[in-house]
Amino acid sequence: MKDYINPDFKHMVHGGDYNPDQWLDYPEVLSEDMRLMKLSHCNEMTLGIFAWSALEPEEGKFNFEWMDKVMDDIHKAGGKVVLATPSGAKPAWMAQKYVETLRVNDRGERYWYGERHNHCYTSPIYREKVKLINQKLAERYKDHPALIGWHLSNEYGGECYCDLCKEAFRGWLKKKYGSIKNLNGQWWNAFWSHTFNGFDQINPPSPLGENHVHGLKLDWKRFVSEQTADFVKHEYDSVKSITPNIPVTANLMGFYQGLNYRDIVKVIDYVSWDNYPNWVNTDHDINVAQYSAMCHDLMRSLNCRPFYLMESTPSHVNWKPYNKLKRPKVHMLSSLQAVAHGSDSVQYFQWRKSRGSFEKFHGAVVDHVGNEHTRVFKDVTAVGERLEKLDEVVGTVVRPKVALMYDWDNQWAIDMAGGFQLNDKKISQTNCQYYNAFWSKGVDIDIIGADSHDFNDYKVIFAPMRYMVSDALGEKLKSFVKNGGTLVCTYMTGMVNENDLCHLGGWPGAGLREVFGIWNEEIDTLNPGESNTVKLKDGTVVKAVDYCELIHSEGAEVLAEYDSDFYKGMPAYTVNRYGEGKAYYIAFRDDGSFTKQMINDILDEVGVSSEFDGALKKGVTAHSRTDGENTYVFLENYTPDDFETETGILWTEVDTGKTLTGKFTLSGYGTLILKK
């Protein structure tokens, strides 16, 4: 049951962004690159990401000779190529001649030529030019033995407010709502006299115009996401029609808020993403590791397949306020973390440090000194040597029994809502609090969406701050619980529908009141520094912060009550049996300790545990992949100290083939890859 990204290349990919177009005047550097590639145990180069002006220096005049040579040289050196389409940055001639390809900001100002990721994704001329260059690349290299994948553009994102995009938005709205009357109703436009007579009166949200109609703001974000996906599809089709067997990806950015990645994943073959955690080598590294792990899980769960870690830095970046070096051992650990969560690659930005311009001091495999005698080069080589021993892990999948629910539009809607804690509802922090409990136990987890996943694949679903619940999602959750699933929700559940209209008739709406057996009458937002207390059945008292909902049981068993303020004695934590399953409701936010305990208890109750049977400690975790028969467990230690633990299972160490059981030591910042 293996799932290969490219069945013709069953090895871990190790390589990264390669920009020979910056070095065409330095042929000795380019040939040295090939020697160093082999030496570093890299087997891949991601080529041509920002190479448009080198490929088409003047309109309609193409120059592929340099790329022919690079492709051939990489092949001769035993490497493979993930070939990029160059649409992430356009040549100056295009901006000069076709002004419509330049973006317009939300104040209606057209940008000058410059930077990257600066094109209008609606512009027919841009689309035509992209299609042409993409097809030329595909035609030229379709049979090249080095080609193993496509990399569309680079980190799609951003918005354009030009007239073409405005028109497209109006068309999108018309398709969605049918009539202007329906739109007025769904956006609640009688408010502030905003009733429209026609779609042509509608503009995107702007500081110069409307910025408070939630329906409009939400639909604009959805439109931007779908319009971008439409552009991605345009690129996808242009290469796929010529190279049907070469898998296509776009490099994503974790929890980036500008796009709903579930739109993008529909139009690509495999997921890849760029990860730049803030490793600083203090205690804080544990939080960094947890956040990075959560991002890997989010990215993998987009289609529940193996993915590529398309970019990471072998040492440091250049765009953080403090660009600290990765400490010894951290590069190996962070690289294997990606693999533990389902990556079939470790790739870097970038192969060789640029000589000039903005990224000349960004970490890279090859430094300005230009040879292999650097600490970073050796770190990279060590990763390459280790990845070469992991062929059997390639194509294995992650199949958790637990899911955390996360949807981009749910977060957008919460973030824009008036009320509560106005400026920071802390949804990201809440997700981390939940995620960290699973991570600490070494329990694998998927991060799933309301529409995109089959809930019946999971025993338990945690859906903190699930503010937006459509009737369809309400039904889906209801039948999940009815059929025996365990659902855990919190304060703010089911307040609005998919258009951000409040559910009438009592929260949680969309039929969930019955599932939880509670009614949420009010929500109290506490001031910073304030807290309340909650008393559990066994007498334990925990702290409530930020939010306390005033809920009534309508049949649910009360597991904890508020212990102070005027709502003392009201339920704070409940469970309701519904059909064959159970629905837990947590009416308050806590400082983390209650969440952790609650998650531990619920996982015990449903019988979900780590694939590793031994003890873990703070900062040490376990993650697993499987081919259906063998389970591969990655034991990861994010502390500097050696850790002694014990297992009752007879494992094989994948790197060495040696068996392992009983007591053993996991070294500080070490990773062990075990098979059972």
Which residues are known catalytic residues?
155, 311
CB-based contact 522:548 (threshold 8 Å): no
What is the SS3 string spanning 255-293?
CCCCCCHHHHHHHCCEEEEECCCCCCCCCCHHHHHHHHH
Q: Taking the complex as a whole, how short is the minimal distance between the CB of residue 496 and ligand GLA, in angstroms? A: 34
Torsion of CA 4, 8, 12, 16, to 10 degrees: -110
Task: Please give the residue whose beta carbon sits closest to ligand GLA in the complex.
Answer: 274
The yes or no reply on residue 111 touching ligand GLA (CB under 6 A) is no
CB-based contact 570:519 (threshold 8 Å): no
* Residue of 154, 430, 520, 574 interacting with ligand GLA (CB under 6 A): 154
Q: How far apart are the C-alpha atoms of 382 and 331, rounded to whole Å?
A: 9
Q: Which residues contact 295 (CB under 8 A, 6 or more apart)?
A: 254, 255, 273, 275
Q: Taking the complex as a whole, how short is the minimal distance between the CB of residue 308 and ligand GLA, in angstroms? A: 13
Q: Which residue's CB is nearer to ligand GLA, number 274 or number 444? A: 274
Q: Taking the complex as a whole, how short is the minimal distance between the CB of residue 613 and Zn ion, in angstroms? A: 56
CB-based contact 324:287 (threshold 8 Å): no
> 61: which strand partners?
58
> 573: which strand partners?
560, 586
Alpha helices in 509-654 (DSSP H): 512-516, 593-606
Q: Which residue's CB is nearer to ligand GLA, number 63 or number 323? A: 323
CB-based contact 86:132 (threshold 8 Å): no
Hunting for tokens 């939400």 — which residue is that? 218
Q: Which two tokens stand for residue 225?
A: 């996401």
Of Zn ion, ligand GLA, none, which one sits near residue 285, judging by CB under 5 to 8 A according to partner kind? none
Q: Which residues contact 667 (CB under 8 A, 6 or more apart)?
A: 637, 642
Continuous segment of H or E residues that includes residue 660: strand 659-666
Q: How far apart are the C-alpha atoms of 191 and 502, rounded to whole Å?
A: 14
Q: How far apart are the C-alpha atoms of 502 and 496, rounded to whole Å?
A: 4
Q: Taking the complex as a whole, how short is the minimal distance between the CB of residue 162 and Zn ion, in angstroms? A: 3
Q: Taking the complex as a whole, how short is the minimal distance between the CB of residue 155 and ligand GLA, in angstroms? A: 5
Q: Which residue's CB is nearer to Zn ion, number 227 or number 624? A: 227
Site for ligand GLA in 350-379 (CB under 6 A): 359, 362
Listed residue (574, 597, 577) closest to 586, CA to CA: 574
Q: Which residue's CB is nearer to ligand GLA, number 317 or number 432? A: 317
What are the E-state strand segments in 537-578? 541-553, 557-562, 571-578
CB-based contact 632:651 (threshold 8 Å): no
What is the contact mask toward ligand GLA in residues 497 to 516, using x (rule: CB under 6 A)? --------------------
Q: Taking the complex as a whole, how short is the minimal distance between the CB of residue 661 and ligand GLA, in angstroms? A: 42
The yes or no reply on residue 155 touching ligand GLA (CB under 6 A) is yes
Q: Which residue's CB is nearer to Zn ion, number 89 or number 403? A: 89
The yes or no reply on residue 624 touching ligand GLA (CB under 6 A) is no
Q: Which residue's CB is nearer to ligand GLA, number 243 or number 313? A: 313
Site for Zn ion in 159-188 (CB under 5 A): 160, 162, 164-165
Q: Which residue's CB is nearer to ligand GLA, number 194 or number 362? A: 362
Q: Which residue's CB is nearer to Zn ion, number 104 or number 288? A: 104
The yes or no reply on residue 120 touching Zn ion (CB under 5 A) is yes
What is the contact mask toward ligand GLA in residues 176 to 215, using x (rule: CB under 6 A)? ----------------------------------------
Q: Taking the complex as a whole, how short is the minimal distance between the CB of residue 276 and ligand GLA, in angstroms? A: 6
* Residue of 125, 132, 317, 417 interacting with ligand GLA (CB under 6 A): 317
* Residue of 18, 308, 349, 612 interacting with ligand GLA (CB under 6 A): 349
Q: Which residue's CB is nearer to ligand GLA, number 349 or number 434? A: 349
Q: Helix (H, G, I), strand (E, B), or coil: what is residue 104?
A: strand
Of ligand GLA, Zn ion, none, which one sits near residue 120, judging by CB under 5 to 8 A according to partner kind? Zn ion
Could you tell me the end-to-end alpha-carbon distance of the chain, in angstroms, rounded to an integer?
16
Of ligand GLA, Zn ion, none, which one sits near residue 21, judging by CB under 5 to 8 A according to partner kind? none
Lateral strand order in the sheet of 620-626: 620-626, 631-637, 671-675, 643-653, 659-666
Q: Which residue's CB is nearer to ligand GLA, number 225 or number 251? A: 251
Q: How far apart are the C-alpha atoms of 555 and 587, rounded to whole Å?
A: 16
Q: How far apart are the C-alpha atoms of 383 and 494, rounded to whole Å?
A: 46
Q: Which residue's CB is nearer to Zn ion, number 163 or number 475? A: 163
What is the contact mask toward Zn ion in residues 342 to 371, using x (rule: CB under 5 A)? ------------------------------
Site for ligand GLA in 286-315 (CB under 6 A): 311
* Residue of 111, 276, 420, 664 interacting with ligand GLA (CB under 6 A): 276
Is there a cis peptide before residue 508, judged by omega within 30 degrees of 0?
yes
Q: Taking the complex as a whole, how short is the minimal distance between the CB of residue 361 and ligand GLA, in angstroms? A: 11
Of Zn ion, ligand GLA, none, which one sits near residue 588, judging by CB under 5 to 8 A according to partner kind? none
Measured over the CA atoms of residue 458, residue 459, residue 463 and residue 469, the dihedral's sign is positive
Q: Which residue's CB is nearer to Zn ion, number 162 or number 403? A: 162
Please tell me what DSSP assigns to residue 451: T
The yes or no reply on residue 256 touching ligand GLA (CB under 6 A) is no
CB-based contact 651:674 (threshold 8 Å): yes
The yes or no reply on residue 325 touching ligand GLA (CB under 6 A) is no
Q: How far apart are the C-alpha atoms of 376 and 385, rounded to whole Å?
A: 14
CB-based contact 199:170 (threshold 8 Å): yes
How many residues of this chain bind ligand GLA (CB under 6 A)?
A: 9
- Strand 571-578, strand 557-562: pairing: antiparallel
CB-based contact 406:301 (threshold 8 Å): no
Of ligand GLA, Zn ion, none, which one sits near residue 379, judging by CB under 5 to 8 A according to partner kind? none
What is the contact mask toward ligand GLA in residues 114 to 143, using x (rule: CB under 6 A)? ------------------------------
Q: Helix (H, G, I), strand (E, B), or coil: what is residue 334?
A: helix
Q: Taking the complex as a whole, how short is the minimal distance between the CB of residue 544 and ligand GLA, in angstroms? A: 39
Stretch that binds Zn ion, among 133-141, 157-165, 541-549, 628-636 (CB under 5 A): 157-165
The yes or no reply on residue 274 touching ligand GLA (CB under 6 A) is yes
CB-based contact 446:304 (threshold 8 Å): yes
The yes or no reply on residue 21 touching ligand GLA (CB under 6 A) is no
- Strand 643-653, strand 659-666: pairing: antiparallel
The yes or no reply on residue 122 touching Zn ion (CB under 5 A) is yes
Alpha helices in 576-645 (DSSP H): 593-606
Stretch that binds Zn ion, among 62-70, 113-121, 184-192, 552-560 (CB under 5 A): 113-121
Q: Taking the complex as a whole, how short is the minimal distance between the CB of residue 48 and ligand GLA, in angstroms? A: 12
Which residues form the interface with ligand GLA (CB under 6 A)?
Answer: 154-155, 274, 276, 311, 317, 349, 359, 362
Which residues form the interface with Zn ion (CB under 5 A)?
Answer: 120, 122, 160, 162, 164-165
